Amino acid sequence: MGGVRGKSQGCGTCRARKIACGQERPHCSQCLKSNRQCAGYRRDKVFVLVQPDAKESSRTTRQGKDIARLKPNTLDQGPGHEIIMSCQIRQQLLDAFIGRCLPHPRFRARSWYKPWLFLLPDIPTRSKVLQFSTLAISSAALGRRFHDGALIQQSLKAYTLGLREMQKALWSDTLRYEDETLAACLVLSLYELMECPDNGDGAYQSHCKGYLSLVKARGMDAHIDGIGHDLFMGVRLQGILDAIGHRVPNYICDAAWCRDPWALRPKGMAGRIADCLAAMPSILQRYDRLSSLRRKEVLDSTYRLVEECLRIDRTLQDIYEDIRVQVDGPLYWPVLSPSFKDGVHGQDLFPVIYHFPNLKTASMLMLYWASKALLWATLSNLHDVIQLQGHSITAPIVEVTSEKHDASPNSDEVISIERDSPALHDRQYMSMACNVCQSLEFCLQEDMSLLGTLASSVPVILAIWAIRYRHNDEAELAWLIGASQKMRQGLRMWDYIYDGIL
């Protein structure tokens, strides 16, 4: 399957105006000077399915031979060719990648769940797709860590070979649903996230949709136990994030997919938080539909949404209490930011940051805070709807009990719910988003390496969405985006990611 680009590399606005584009990112200088909205650099691609074993046309073959005479195949020449083709060197690079770029001993211990990256050496391979994919990500990560440009260049060649082998695997009836194919798809998407070889997020988004479709095609039984379950854990949060971004639930958000894959394993704290997030796309979808309802229907639907949000809030609070029980000592503590102490200009957005006992605690709390921020921002929007209908809810908000109340009161009635919880009209969701930002510096420390960057990426995106859903917080949104630019150091696609979520 090949993508065909247009020739122009300018932004969409400059191409439409037929003028030369400065190609600055994320917004070009031409658009800024003319006070126009820059349409960005995303290109529509035309994908042509090609059977890997199909014969080439005589014209294509002739053209290929002519090109080969003019330019030898760089993949088959040079010192990097030996690295790519040697199984022993590939395994050594993978071991070095896990040992040097994922240096967290607690993940190496036997447990119910380890991040899927640690499982790559244990996945049986019947084809070259996972071999070339792991070679690509290992070479890229080690090249960046040790500033080896040649190794980074070889990673791009291995990535290209990995794409070719992925096509063959997806066309093969015997390889399509194997764990190695799903793992290779995850590895290739992570490489794109780290290296941004496409100079955009098109390839990454395509791979995300691809592995979500592959998980669905494999069926739930393939993800109940073993490596299949661990790979599903790597896919699940991205699938939920995709549903929240589109404000439409997908199959990952279904109750069965939130329950059955854990038939043989206990669900951890992160999985329970993900369950709460899986309920958000449906809530956001119904919130968007309120404007098309009649007044009484608007009130009924809004109160039901408030009740759902409060139930999720109670669940999240229970998860937080369980985290507190599991961790000895404080969950986090404030420290003065090193960049603030050193007086680094432009990096002192958060003079006080948070430190944690370990990365596991940091990642769980950041995900918890980001989920709270999104939930409370949604509650604030629902409160606005109720006020527009001439009603009010007294603070504080409380849990909905088993006692049923009238969902559509008279216009002069004041609704009172009695459990101690965040008030609908306050801005506590901003404090949750701030907690996420103040945790970033801990996760992006050098010794946290790639794991810290990946652990903080989803919470940061959720926090940005939480503020964006409120229409009066432009200053805070710009402030959070500025803080999240630290993510660039590990994810070179970050500019395209946050440009796409705004």
Spatial contact of 223 and 215, defined as CB atoms under 8 Å apart: yes
Whether residue 224 is found in the same domain as residue 302: no
Whether residue 376 is found in the same domain as residue 299: yes
| pLDDT at residue 71 is higher than 50 | no
Residue 357: CB atoms within 10 Å: 14
Q: What is the mean pLDDT of the chain?
A: 78
pLDDT at 73: 45
Does some domain include residue 349?
Answer: yes
Whether residue 306 is found in the same domain as residue 453: yes
pLDDT at 67: 33
Does some domain include residue 485?
Answer: yes
- The HSE-up count of residue 97 (CA atoms within 13 Å, CB side) is 29
| pLDDT at residue 305 is higher than 70 | yes
Which amino acid is residue 26, in one-letter code? P
pLDDT at 134: 93
Whether residue 200 is found in the same domain as residue 321: no
Q: Is 357 left (phi over 0), alpha (psi -120 to 50) or beta?
A: alpha
Does some domain include residue 59?
Answer: no
Does some domain include residue 57?
Answer: no
Which range (11-25, 183-197, 268-282) has the least confidence?
11-25
Does some domain include residue 21?
Answer: no
> Tell me: the pLDDT tens digits for 424-470?
445 578 889 889 988 988 988 877 878 888 888 999 999 888 888 77
Whether residue 236 is found in the same domain as residue 299: no
> Tell me: the pLDDT tens digits for 252-294?
999 999 999 999 989 999 999 999 999 999 999 999 999 898 8
Whether residue 166 is found in the same domain as residue 304: no
pLDDT at 165: 93
Does some domain include residue 141?
Answer: yes
- For tokens 């290739």, what's the residue? 188
- For tokens 């050594």, what's the residue? 92
Whether residue 319 is found in the same domain as residue 462: yes
Most confident listed range (6-10, 45-49, 308-312): 308-312
Domain boundaries, position 474: 295-389+426-501
| pLDDT at residue 162 is higher than 50 | yes
CA distances from 165 to 18, 128, 130, 172, 322 (A): 39, 6, 8, 11, 44
pLDDT at 434: 86
Element (H, E) at 415: strand 414-415
Radius of gyration of the CA atoms of the chain, in A: 25
Does some domain include residue 18?
Answer: no
> Tell me: the pLDDT tens digits for 315-371?
999 999 999 998 889 999 999 887 655 554 444 567 888 999 988 899 999 999 999
- Would you give the end-to-end CA distance of the chain in angstroms? 30
pLDDT at 35: 77
The set of long-range contacts for 345-351, using a CB threshold of 8 Å and a minimum separation of 24, is: 349/437, 349/479, 349/482, 349/483, 350/434, 350/437, 350/438, 350/441, 350/483
Whether residue 242 is found in the same domain as residue 120: yes
Q: Which residue did the predictor score with more confidence, 499 or 179?
A: 179
- Above pLDDT 70, what percent of the chain? 73
Token duo for residue 162: 């990995």
Does some domain include residue 373?
Answer: yes
pLDDT at 33: 80
| pLDDT at residue 383 is higher than 80 | yes
Band (pLDDT 50/70/90 cuts) for residue 415 is very low
How far out from the chain centre does Cα 401 lie? 35
| pLDDT at residue 411 is higher than 80 | no
Task: Give the chain's domain count.
Answer: 2
| pLDDT at residue 76 is higher than 70 | no
Q: Comparing C-alpha atoms, which of 229, 167, 208 is closest to residue 175? A: 167
Q: Which residue did the predictor score with more confidence, 396 or 51?
A: 51
Most confident listed range (22-36, 47-61, 63-77): 22-36
Whether residue 377 is found in the same domain as residue 470: yes
For 159, phi then psi, to 5°, come to: -60, -40
Q: Which residue did the predictor score with more confidence, 12 or 169?
A: 169
